[in-house]
Amino acid sequence: MNVYIIAGESSGDAHAAVLMSELQQLEPAVQFYGAGGPKMRAVAGPGIFDWAHEAVVGVWDVAMKYPYFRRQFYRMHAEIKQMRPDIVLFVDYPGFNLRLSRHLRRTGYKGKLVYYISPQVWAWYRGRIRHMAKFLDLMMCIFPFEKALYEAAGLRTEFVGHPMIEALAQKRLSVDRDPDLVGLFPGSREREVRRILPIMLDSAALLRERKPELRFEVSAASERLKGLIHEILSRAGQAEWPVEVRRATELMQRAAVGLVASGTATMESSFFELPFVLLYKVAWTTFVPGRLLVRVKYLGMPNILAGKPIIPEFIQHQAVPENIAAAVWRLYSDPVARTNQIQEMRKVIEQVASVPAGGRPADVLLRFARSATRTADAAPAR
């Protein structure tokens, strides 16, 4: 069994690597090729092209790196057509993966195309779902409400549970929260950190005015970002603040409250019941077109799943340090506000954990591959 797998960014690399390891346990002879990051390469070896560090956000970033992504697009397209794998598996990264899957189908590719961690097109262009049904063979979604949306368009869909739940459960620690510790989680991309961390630092300064005993730690997604974070801290006169690399979940369990950039960390913080506020800021050339397309009320997935703002959101021009600091202070100082947010977080996590994900994506993928093979073998010769 040959699987060509494409993931982008650190989160996609991590989710894909787990699925690959579980698939190897079910089908030891499986061979992996494609593109991803270091965790996927650790599972599959040199057959995986490492490009996860090329993650981009928004129109401007894409424009700047367009020649690179164009080369990779046609390189992967040619490789897939030549190799003819049993399955082409697209993991998240919709800006690239949806275009490639559509192009493969339009250029006559007959192989099976499967998408894992469904793109959030329901948030910005639901009409696109019916087009996806024309070129994808299977959607594996991680949020329960997505299944009905995709199936209504005629796309075979399996709710496989969120891969985060089992992984985070293994990272639980027996630690008490430090009542004077505030965790800062500025994102996993360089541009995010450059825009968001300074706002967090200004908010932290205001919090320290309220309580000088407060201490702050910053989570870095990589060694490369750790260096950037130290530069920003030094310019702000906070060079002594600890910066932890790839230990976000530990900080989420030790801190009393948190400031979290929109993304995977919002669900992780909810899992560990860290009271927090969400903030996000991008270039206006990215924000304006995106805001015109978005069809959901909230940015954070905990709020989307809850259907109400259980997490205070401070987006773009609303990301003002004074407002952020006030919201964090309320969560820090008001036991009722903390308790209410934590109770709502639990309800959100219960939704996502309704189907255990452990091994399920790999099992669904393998059963689909085998059924597709039987169907092909049974088809009459032409």
360 & 348 share domain: no
210 in any annotated domain: yes
Task: Report which of 43, 49, 7, 51 is spatially closest to residue 25, judged by C-alpha positions.
Answer: 43
- The count of structural domains within the chain is 2
CA R_g for the chain? 22
Stated pTM of the model: 0.77
Task: Look up residue 172 and give its two tokens.
Answer: 């639980």
What is the 8-class DSSP label of residue 47?
G
Between 51 and 276, the higher pLDDT residue: 276
Over the stretch 224-234, which tens digit does the pLDDT of each residue have? Answer: 999 999 999 99
Full domain range(s) for residue 330? 181-352
Average pLDDT over the chain, rounded to whole? 90
CA-based end-to-end distance of the chain: 25
Residue 261 has pLDDT above 80, yes or no: yes
Same domain, 100 and 194: no
Range of weakest confidence among 21-30, 127-136, 260-269, 372-381? 372-381
In a domain, 305, yes or no: yes
pLDDT tens digits along 152-187: 999 999 999 888 888 899 999 999 999 999 999 999
Residues whose CB is less than 8 angstroms from the CB of residue 198 and which lie 6 or more positions away in sequence, other chains included: 232, 236
Same domain flag for 88 and 121: yes
Contact 40, 17 (CB under 8 A): yes
Whether 85 and 214 map to the same domain: the answer is no
* 369 occurs within a structural domain: yes
User: Does residue 291 have a pLDDT over 60?
Assistant: no
Model confidence band, residue 381 (pLDDT cutoffs 50, 70, 90)? very low
Same domain for 187 and 138 = no
User: Which pair of tokens denotes residue 179?
Assistant: 């009542």
For residues 324 and 345, membership in a common domain is answered with yes
Residue 169 lies in a domain: no
Alpha helices in 107-258 (DSSP H): 121-124, 128-135, 146-152, 163-169, 190-210, 223-235, 248-254
Q: Do 197 and 138 have their domain in common?
A: no
What's 301's domain CATH number?
A: 3.40.50.2000
